[in-house]
Chains A and B, each alone.
Chain A
Amino acid sequence: MINTMECSVDAQSLISISLRKIHNSRTQRGGIKLHKNLLVSYVLRNARQVYTNEKYAEIYRMQQYEEVMTVCNEIQELNPLDLVEDCEEQTGDCCGSATESASLCGALLPVSHQAPSAQHIQPSSACSVPLALQSEEVCKAPDPSFYRSCCAEVYPVSNCDFSPVNSMHCNKTTVLDLDTHVVTTVENGYLHQDCCASLQQCCQGAQSPAKKRKLDFEYYVSEIEEVPDFTPCKRAKFEDSSYASTEPLDTSNISNLISIFGSGFTGLVSRQADLEQALNGQFCSKQALASLGAWTRAIVAF
């Protein structure tokens, strides 16, 4: 768990500072420094983790509040004579609201990725722990714009829809590695390799011991950029098998989320007002976060 107490700057500011550093490094003399950018990406990841933990805590509290209010309303409308039916109705409503909540979780994923494999995703698994439901419906939450913007902040890919700043087609990136002459396309998170390049790759694979010894005469061109992966969430989302191999930090992230979700809710009523105010006040950093997708795709390849 990251100790944020010593830091005078909050997670959001750290994210924007880090993104600025990565952006500035592109125009630095001498070329992009791989080492420094890697370290900055770690800070970015750490700050995002803290930020998303805080955000999920807020969302969960909001969601719990919505559930409570719904149930309260239902109870108020209850006619003592309709008790039996209403029990079923109530259960249905609970499920219904749970469905809504699950679809809220679903809405946290990019629309194109709401497959059963999404069960492996950290936030949805955290959602499904208390709710035990999975839905593929598009988010029907009462305040879609709010939740969607939260989604946008969490998953860069979904920013395509919401961020006016990002004009890039952000679910496709092409990388040319002049070391190996392999052209790689990252599309919707899945790695493709162009046919001709893959043939070459096979040949290269067979000769790899010799290749290792050969002199690296080639320079590489950083035409289109490749993202150093600093979001464990993103990797887990795109490859089920890689989930098991994600860094230990991911596990701790889950346990943090579960502990947050399991901790119950307090002060929910006041939370609503705080949240609305927070939304307005933090517009600038939200924009920075919303444009996270643009920046992540703009990271230079190596």
Chain B
Amino acid sequence: MRFRAKIVDLACLNHFSRVINTIAKLAKTCTLRLTVSKLYFILSDKVANGGVSMWCELCQGNFFDEFQMEGVAAEHNEIYLELVPENLSRALKTAQSAKAVKIKLTNKHCPCLRVAVELPSLSSSSRIVTHDIPVGIIPRRLWNDFREPSVPDFDVSIYLPVLKTMKSVVERMKNLSNSIVIEANLSGEMNLKIETDLVSVTTHFKDLGNPAWASEDGCQSSAQDKDLESMAEARIDIKKLQQLLAGQQVNPTKALCNIVSKRIVHFILLHEDVSLQYFIPALA
């Protein structure tokens, strides 16, 4: 099992750092899955996470100048690691002016991801900062826990409003209530509602647009049968929603959510080379 990668381009490095920062805000510990062409940051829906789950996918070619990976076995050419993304975020934080960043999987005293940052200096040789991030190797028998979640059979799919606006609304609502109701319909309308003994606040968004999904069984007509005005809603933990919105450092190219009434809200945030899916279950 080997892994070695290198980033030399500063723009790629900053982009990668931003992705890591976002992941670090969403999960204390998560799984990093490495394949020949992609990296995945996965959080599976255990009770400890409050039922949320995350699936983030990056194409390695868009970030790394060099990427070599050898999995556990020839027919299972992948590596699954458990790590604390905050450590990776910290390691990259002071690498903004780096000449190169190399990441390597090592096993000196214990398995670590070694991040070596080469920094410019006034002297003849560069400064090298190494960060050894302890990781856990996840054995093959547990790999099934980390499969890509399927898109749920949703009632409504809608594009999200401008994330910055949504974030400030949710942040203020967070002070008033622990849970928030997201409801939306197929006419591009979304409401965010909170209700307490003293006050209820609703923010209405219009003209958001609904993405078209090709139906699996190919019958598109079923979508037209649905009542365009009826709202699908789910009550979710407001802190989880706020975390998701606060963690976004760059505006996504596309941001949408799928609501399964009273069950789960599935958020999809797409950037050019990164896709992030986040599932927040409805509260009982």
A binds B: no
Residues of A within 8 A of B (CB): none
